[in-house]
Amino acid sequence: MTFGIVMIGYGNIGQDFTRIFLGRTTELKERYGIQAKLVAVLDSTGGAICNKGLDPASLLRVKSSTGRLCDFPEYGCKGISVEDTLRQADAQFLMETSSTDFRTGEPGISNILMGIEQGLHIVTANKGALALAYPMLKRAAEERNVLMKFRGSAPTPLPYLDLEVYPALGYPLQRVEGVVNACANYILGRMHEGTDKARATEEARQLKLLERDPELDLLGWDTACKMVILANLLFDANVTLHDVKDVEGIQNITLSDVENAKQNRQFLKHVGMLENMEGKIVLKSSIKSYDIDHPFSAMKKTEKAMMLQASGAGTITMKSEHTGSLPSAQAMFHDMIDIRRHERLRGV
């Protein structure tokens, strides 16, 4: 059986997803038994719908030449709504990659709910929607008996981690710590090299590490959001951003704090933390100092890093320089493979 995919949002992640699709049809079928077609793709102008499957190469071509999917030959629909699309499309999966908003979670939350309503499995990388509304979305998915996967919303290198057997059966996780905000990490890293904070922040801005909304990076909210996503992904904690009680950014750190730490052979890092306190997950976004030979101290300024402490298996430490949309697009594919496995296991 060939599966229909509806994709909402056609930015970098969506286009990378299409590129993966383009080159690997045979391989995916042979290796993972995945046969799929894109039946509808929407951007802000409307979209293209064809239940026989849209040609991936044409999608990319239209997007790069006019920037508007509604210009897709024959199947383009100007201004078509998500609702109408879902009604018309013959699909099993909704890939939600619309732009994320950390204040409202929209339009991601509504898109996901509409997809669930139509009985589609959800694969999303929409951080805002997940950080603000995960418990509600999860409940809706359970009631409708569909799956919702979102490893693409987690910071790299976490999506690479197998989330099935190890955490579920083998290694119950106790604690997670992560340096997951590139901007804060860059600024602190430069401060350890002696640069003052204002200048380091300006550099980060020039390197495009600073978000349009600088509070997210500098006051610790981006890290907090990511920890909420991780808490739900790794611990099934059913939490939202409101459950993070302890959010501190790098706003109060001065050059002399950094110098003092260095004299004690320590590095200051901005980290997110999750701790399993007898079943209750405590979330934090704050500053912590690490010994100089700790993997977090030895990381590059542009890397993200994570430590997962599991009972019985010690600590898994991961870091990567991977950033941008390609890893998220791959992670969404991974989620789709996972969902297919689940369905087969359930005899669907």
Partner 1 sequence: MHLTHLKTVRISVSLERCWWAMIVKIVLAGYGGIGRALVMAIRRHRVEIKKRYGLEFDLMGVADSSGAALSQNGLDLGLLEDVKAKTGRVSDYPKFGREGASVSDLLEETDAEILFDASSSDIHSGEPGLSNMMHGLSRDMHIVTTNKAALAKGYRCLSKKAKEMHVALKFRGCACTTIPCFDVDIYQSLGLGICGIEAIVNATSNYVLSRMSDGASRHEAIREAQDQGIAERDPALDLDGWDTACKMVILANWLLNGDFALEDVEVRGISNLTVEEIMLARQKGLVYRNVGEITRDNARINLRSYPKIMTINEPLALVRNLQKAILFHTEIGDVFIRTEHAGALPSAYALLQDAIEIVGERNDR
Please, which residue, 221 or 333, has the CB nearer to partner 1?
A: 333
Within its chain, how far is the Cα of 184 from the centroid?
Answer: 18
Query: 119: closest CA among 139, 136, 94?
Result: 94
Vertex 142 angle, CA 137 and 144, to 5°:
95
| Rounded least distance, CB 80 to partner 1, Å | 30
Please, which residue, 240 or 330, has the CB nearer to partner 1?
A: 330
| Rounded least distance, CB 109 to partner 1, Å | 27
Please, which residue, 51 or 171, has the CB nearer to partner 1?
A: 171
H or E element at residue 230: helix 221-235
Please, which residue, 192 or 284, has the CB nearer to partner 1?
A: 192
| Rounded least distance, CB 59 to partner 1, Å | 18
**CA distance to 14, 33, 41, 149, per residue, from 9 (Å):** 7, 26, 7, 17
| Rounded least distance, CB 317 to partner 1, Å | 4
| Rounded least distance, CB 21 to partner 1, Å | 10
Over its C-alpha atoms, the chain yields an Rg (Å, rounded) of 21
Please, which residue, 26 or 65, has the CB nearer to partner 1?
A: 26
Scored b (16 or more CB within 10 A) or e, 185-199 reads: bbbbbbbbeebebee
Please, which residue, 68 or 294, has the CB nearer to partner 1?
A: 294
Binding site for partner 1 (CB under 8 A): 20, 23-24, 27-28, 31-33, 156-157, 160-162, 164-166, 168-171, 293, 295, 298, 303, 312-324, 326-327, 330, 333-334, 337, 340-342, 344-347
Contact at 8 Å (CB) between 214 and 227?
no
| Rounded least distance, CB 270 to partner 1, Å | 20
173-179/280-291 β-pairing: unpaired
Please, which residue, 123 or 244, has the CB nearer to partner 1?
A: 123
Please tell me the distance from the alpha carbon of residue 249 to that of residue 79, in angstroms, as a whole number: 41
| Rounded least distance, CB 12 to partner 1, Å | 13
* Tokens (6 digits) for 265: 């052979």
314-320/304-310 β-pairing: antiparallel
Cβ–Cβ contacts within 10 Å for residue 61, how many?
13
